[in-house]
A and B are shown apart, each in its own frame.
Chain A
Amino acid sequence: MADIFKTVITLVSIVAIPLLIFLFLGWGFVKKVKVYEVFVEGAKDGFHTAVRIIPYLVAMLFAIGIFRASGAMELLVSLLSPVTNLIGMPAETLPMALMRPLSGSGSLGIMTELMKVHGPDSFIGVLASTMYGSTETTFYVLAVYFGSVQVKNTRHALPAGLIADLFGMLGAVFICRVLFGI
């Protein structure tokens, strides 16, 4: 069952992009849209959108860079580890949970390291990879998406995003303990 699901989804994601391009442009052609001209017209905005994001992304990434380089993470881990022990989350995976919303490359590094040390099929390895798949890099997404429309006052987006991350991590711990728990 799981295998069929995996095969189908993998297949869909492989053919999706050519299929979408074919459908959209083909349908446009059938509907007598001047496809080339309209495409170029739309593509023109690509440059400006990307350039508009730069200040927002610089602000966000350099703050995260300082935090990561300083070793503040170890401090936070030692502060929070009593809490995570209570819910049965191994202390080794706490840096993973804290890094996930901050940095995609950082959490990827932690996940790889945990698997190297504990093995990919150990409880810690499974939990770390589940955590990685359970949420997105909130700070990055926020900077890119809001940066593209020059939104500076983000209101409740960050707290809501962080609550989502927290529950994603708790959900990962819960399901891994139920299915592969010790």
Chain B
Amino acid sequence: MLNYVWIGLIVIGIFAAVGNDLKDDLRNTYRNGESLKATVLVEKTPSALQESWEGEMVIPANDFNEFYGVTSAAKEIRLPVKITTATTGESSLLLNVNTAAPEPWRTMAKNATSKDNLTGTLRSIRFEEEGKRALVEIVFEPIRFVKIRAVTQATLDYASTAVNIALGLIGIMALWLGVMKVAEEAGMIRIVTRLLTPVTKRLFPEVPPDHPAVGSIVMNLAANMLGLSNAATPMGLKAMEELNKLNPKLGTATNAMCTFLVINTSGLVLIPATAIAVRAAAGSANPGMIIGTSIFGASCATIAGLIAVKLLQRMPRFKKDDPDLQRTAEGAMRKEEANG
């Protein structure tokens, strides 16, 4: 299943990128080759001999929206611009696209030859009002393959993000594994395990009730519920390691491992701290009002996940790989051989 979903993400992603770029080309989303009329305000009139001069480009929002067929510009656009005249007499322009610039300019600037700047050539230039204003017609550099480039960048970025996340885990992992080891030696984990045996026995029938895995599972779930993700992940990985000790076929997930994972992916948290923080930052009158609704949603997820995991493990296509069943089958065969 994971194989299909994984290759699906990659193939659909690449096809969608190519498709989106073709669409942009056919619709000419970035108006490659078309000229846009704009006004450039200058402080001091540039002399004819001057190689380059700077000013402020002004485009009314309506003109911009009409030209690109968008609604992104809300007010008049004003951006710093630099105009250079080459010896051949051809003028080019460098537009500084800052965060105030509307789309599609920001996307265009991201894919332009010089980062955060759009370059273009001037078709015409005419000075007005004693040289304080220049009416210009600009053709920006052609922008193509936006999504394909984004995909390329994403593969590199995400690969290194993955490594950073994993390395970031080292310290916190070491800390909690150390604490857990002390707790284990002191018999603390065994006490936690015994307290919750009635629950864990039903959820993980494959795991012996006094196995150290149960203690780690319980502590992971408790830490998750309290939203202590820094402590929950190391405890969860410790639990996985303990569950793996019961796994007769390394590399394949046991039923207990799948059950444990689904409880974790359902993410039942008593206080969804991140969502509350974002709501508060956005100026909510009552950031905490989603606590109840989130607990309800996550409970639905947890219950549905547990039912699904218990039903799916009986399906032939998942059952045939069950490491526990294979062990008993092999064991039975060996016993027969010994008897025969």
Q: How large is the interface on B (under 10, 10 to 19, 20 to 34, 35 or more residues)?
A: 35 or more
Query: Is B9 on the interface with A (CB-CB < 8 A)?
Result: yes
Whether B170 and A126, one on each chain, are in contact in the complex, defined by CB atoms closer than 8 angstroms, is: no
Interface SS of chain A: helix, strand, loop or mixed? Answer: helix
- Closest A-chain residue to B148, C-beta based? A70
Interface SS of chain B: helix, strand, loop or mixed? Answer: helix
Whether A69 and B13, one on each chain, are in contact in the complex, defined by CB atoms closer than 8 angstroms, is: yes
Contacts known (A61-B158, A61-B161); A164 close to B231, Cβ less than 8 A: no
Whether B282 and A163, one on each chain, are in contact in the complex, defined by CB atoms closer than 8 angstroms, is: no
Contacts known (A28-B186, A66-B9); A155 close to B318, Cβ less than 8 A: yes
Whether B289 and A126, one on each chain, are in contact in the complex, defined by CB atoms closer than 8 angstroms, is: yes
Query: Is B264 on the interface with A (CB-CB < 8 A)?
Result: yes
Query: Is A71 on the interface with B (CB-CB < 8 A)?
Result: yes
Query: Is B48 on the interface with A (CB-CB < 8 A)?
Result: no
- Give the A-B pair count, Cβ closer than 8 A: 397
Whole-angstrom distance from the CB of A70 to the nearest CB of chain B? 4
Query: Is A80 on the interface with B (CB-CB < 8 A)?
Result: no
Query: Is B150 on the interface with A (CB-CB < 8 A)?
Result: yes
Whether B178 and A67, one on each chain, are in contact in the complex, defined by CB atoms closer than 8 angstroms, is: no
Whether B258 and A155, one on each chain, are in contact in the complex, defined by CB atoms closer than 8 angstroms, is: yes
Whether A12 and B253, one on each chain, are in contact in the complex, defined by CB atoms closer than 8 angstroms, is: no
Contacts of B13 in A (CB 8 A): 63, 66-70, 72
Contacts known (A134-B297, A160-B308, A160-B312); A21 close to B6, Cβ less than 8 A: no
Contacts known (A42-B182, A58-B163, A160-B308); A145 close to B236, Cβ less than 8 A: yes
Question: How many Å lie between the Cα of A40 and that of B179 in the bound state?
Answer: 9
Contacts of A40 in B (CB 8 A): 178
Whether A27 and B188, one on each chain, are in contact in the complex, defined by CB atoms closer than 8 angstroms, is: yes
Question: How many Å lie between the Cα of A31 and that of B230 in the bound state?
Answer: 27
Query: Is A85 on the interface with B (CB-CB < 8 A)?
Result: no
Q: Which of B155, B234, B294 contacts A130 (CB 8 A)?
A: B294
For B144-177 the 0/1 string (1 means CB < 8 A from A) is 0001001101110111011101110111111111
- Closest A-chain residue to B172, C-beta based? A46
The 7 lowest CB-CB distance pairs between A and B, nearest first, are: A42-B181, A134-B297, A164-B305, A46-B174, A171-B300, A133-B272, A168-B301
